[in-house]
Amino acid sequence: MTVQEQTAARCPECAADVTFAEPPRLSELVECGECQVELEVVTVQPVTLAPAPEVEEDWGE
Ligand SMILES: [Zn+2]
């Protein structure tokens, strides 16, 4: 048996398969090809995606 690195995960928004050219890294941001939502890699074994947090324009105090 060989363990292959996972290069696909499911979009939490539309359930489409999101594929990676190479094994994703933790906290990597990817865009779903189906719904164009921005996703963050939250775990890598297995690969799990979650919607990336919105970036606030004026985050400072
Ligand atoms: Zn999607």
Q: What is the pTM of this model?
A: 0.78
Q: What is the mean pLDDT of residues 9-18?
A: 96
Q: How far is the CA of 59 from the centre of ligand 1 (A)?
A: 27
Q: How far is the CA of 4 from the centre of ligand 1 (A)?
A: 24
HEC sequence for the chain: CCCCCCCEEECCCCCCEEECCCCCCCCCEEECCCCCCEEEEEEECCEEEEECCCCCCCCCC
Q: How far is the CA of 12 from the centre of ligand 1 (A)?
A: 7
Q: How far is the CA of 38 from the centre of ligand 1 (A)?
A: 9
Judge whether residue 2 has pLDDT over 70. Answer: no
Say what the pLDDT of residue 60 is: 73
* 18-60 residue pLDDT tens: 999 888 999 999 999 999 999 999 999 899 999 998 777 776 7
